[in-house]
């Protein structure tokens, strides 16, 4: 009997995993992207790296916007050992620095006559520790400042070029964890601390801000420019490298990870879907997951959405 269990349990887990992989969806269209320009933030690791690889395989020109230029160049060499197509251009961008964002934006506008798709992928997940409270270079809470304000500023600075390149798209990588987020204007960046119980509520809040940004942006965009938010799924990347786990938590986590976690390539499929598929045209401001429309259970508030935009303009000194 014990032998049967030893065999049947792993087989059942394997089959369940295969079923989940089938449900995740893939973007399979291989249309050429020659003469199309993509800007991908965080393009040297995780979802961004896999997105860059997929775009290169379709002959795209890809601006890899990364903090570490040497790492980006090493990734390009790695990609080039397998994929010869497209053009990969590393450019320095630190989303935790408004000065860096402004400099990068000017460089991109000077060097490229068009931007067909902006993919706001980069992100951090840094829990607040008892002995530290990390900030961006402009003094904002690190998760909110990088994940939301950084991309908010970048998108607005590139907006004119995106409008000139229409039809064009803005893809915003959020997370299902937005459903646990809170936008509290009296505690927007955790000035009064965060509620206990969640591992990193600041990250969740920043992902909710991403969704609100997408929704409000869709209202403001001219014809020909659309924006989409997406949840890539629970992916095996370095995003949560700053989270501290105990050894027994890793042991407990392993079987769950096997069943539920996507690889980075599986996770980037919805990014590709939003960036490339004709199916999403006309669905600006919507959320996608597993290569299809996703209806979030979160109760969005249009007044919060508008106010967050106004405050973000002020914090980034756009107005």
pLDDT in tens, 176-235: 999 999 999 999 999 998 877 667 899 999 999 999 999 999 999 999 999 999 999 886
| Strands 292-293 and 287-289, sheet pairing | antiparallel
Most confident of 184-198, 237-251, 287-301: 287-301
Q: What is the pLDDT of residue 199?
A: 73
Q: What pLDDT was estimated at residue 127?
A: 84
Q: Can you state the percent helix, strand and coil of the chain, rounding each to 5? A: 45, 15, 40
Residue of 62 and 244 predicted with greater confidence: 62
- Strand 168-173 vs strand 225-231: parallel, antiparallel, or unpaired? parallel
Tokens at residue 112, please? 């490229």
For the cut 50, the answer to whether the pLDDT of residue 136 exceeds it is: yes
Task: Quote the CA–CA distance of 45 and 309 in Å, as a whole number.
Answer: 29
Residue in this structure with the two tokens 């060097």, named with its chain if needed: 111
**Average pLDDT score over residue span 285-301:** 98
Which pLDDT score is estimated for 242? 45
What is the secondary structure of 230-282 as a DSSP string?
Answer: EE--SB-SSTTTTS---HHHHHHHHHHHHHHPBPHHHHTHHHHHHHH-GGGTT
Please report which confidence band the pLDDT of residue 128 belongs to, taking 50, 70 and 90 as the band edges.
confident
**Catalytic residue numbers, as ranges:** 203
Instruction: Report, as an integer, the average pLDDT of 46-64.
Output: 98
pLDDT over 90 (residue 7): no
Q: Map out the domains of the chain with their CATH numbers.
A: 30-316 (3.40.50.720)
On the question of pLDDT at 260 being above 70, the answer is no
What integer pLDDT is reported at residue 53 of this predicted model? Answer: 98
Most confident of 8-12, 17-21, 258-262: 258-262
pTM of the predicted protein model: 0.89
Q: Is 169 helix (H, G, I), strand (E, B) or coil?
A: strand
Q: Quick one: pLDDT at residue 74?
A: 98
Residue 154 has a pLDDT of 99
DSSP state of 300: -
Give the C-alpha separation, 97 to 111, whole Å: 21
Q: What is the pLDDT of residue 194?
A: 86
Q: How far is CA 193 from CA 59, 130, 154, 242, in A?
A: 47, 11, 28, 19
User: What per-residue confidence (pLDDT) applies to 195?
Assistant: 77
* Per-residue confidence (pLDDT) for residue 12, from 0 to 100: 54
**Average pLDDT of 109-120?**
99
Distance, CA of 62 to CA of 60 (rounded, Å):
6
Is 90 exceeded by the pLDDT of residue 80?
yes
Measured between alpha carbons, how far is 35 from 59 in angstroms, rounded to an integer? 8
Distances 75 to 70, 79, 121 between C-alpha atoms, Å: 9, 6, 17
């Amino acid at each position: 009997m014990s032998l049967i269990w030893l065999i049947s349990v792993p087989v059942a887990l394997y089959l369940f995993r295969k079923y989940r992989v089938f449900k995740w969806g893939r973007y399979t269209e291989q249309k050429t992207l020659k003469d199309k320009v993509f800007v991908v933030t965080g393009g040297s690791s995780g979802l961004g790296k896999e997105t860059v690889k997929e775009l290169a395989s379709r002959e795209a020109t890809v601006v890899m916007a990364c903090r570490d230029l040497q790492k980006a160049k090493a990734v390009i060499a790695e990609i080039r050992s397998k994929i010869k197509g497209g053009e990969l251009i590393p450019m320095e961008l630190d989303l935790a620095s408004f000065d860096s964002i402004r400099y990068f934006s000017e460089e991109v506008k000077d060097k490229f006559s068009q931007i067909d798709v902006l993919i706001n992928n980069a992100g951090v997940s840094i829990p607040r520790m008892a002995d530290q409270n990390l900030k961006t270079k402009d003094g904002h809470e690190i998760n909110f400042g990088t994940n939301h304000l950084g991309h908010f500023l970048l998108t607005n600075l590139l907006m004119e070029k995106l409008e000139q390149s229409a039809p064009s798209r803005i893809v915003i990588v959020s997370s299902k964890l937005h459903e646990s987020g809170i936008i509290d204007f009296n505690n927007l960046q955790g000035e009064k601390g965060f509620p206990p119980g969640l591992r990193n509520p600041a990250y969740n809040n920043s992902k909710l801000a991403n969704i609100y940004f997408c929704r409000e942006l869709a209202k403001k965009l001219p014809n020909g420019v659309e924006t989409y938010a997406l949840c890539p799924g629970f992916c095996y990347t370095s995003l949560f490298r700053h989270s501290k786990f105990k050894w027994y938590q890793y042991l407990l986590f392993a079987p769950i990870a096997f069943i539920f976690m996507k690889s980075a390539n599986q996770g980037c499929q919805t990014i590709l879907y939003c960036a490339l598929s004709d199916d999403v045209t006309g669905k600006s401001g919507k959320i996608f997951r597993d290569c299809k429309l996703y209806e979030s259970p979160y109760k969005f508030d249009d007044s919060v959405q508008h106010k967050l935009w106004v405050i973000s303009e002020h914090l980034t000194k756009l107005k």
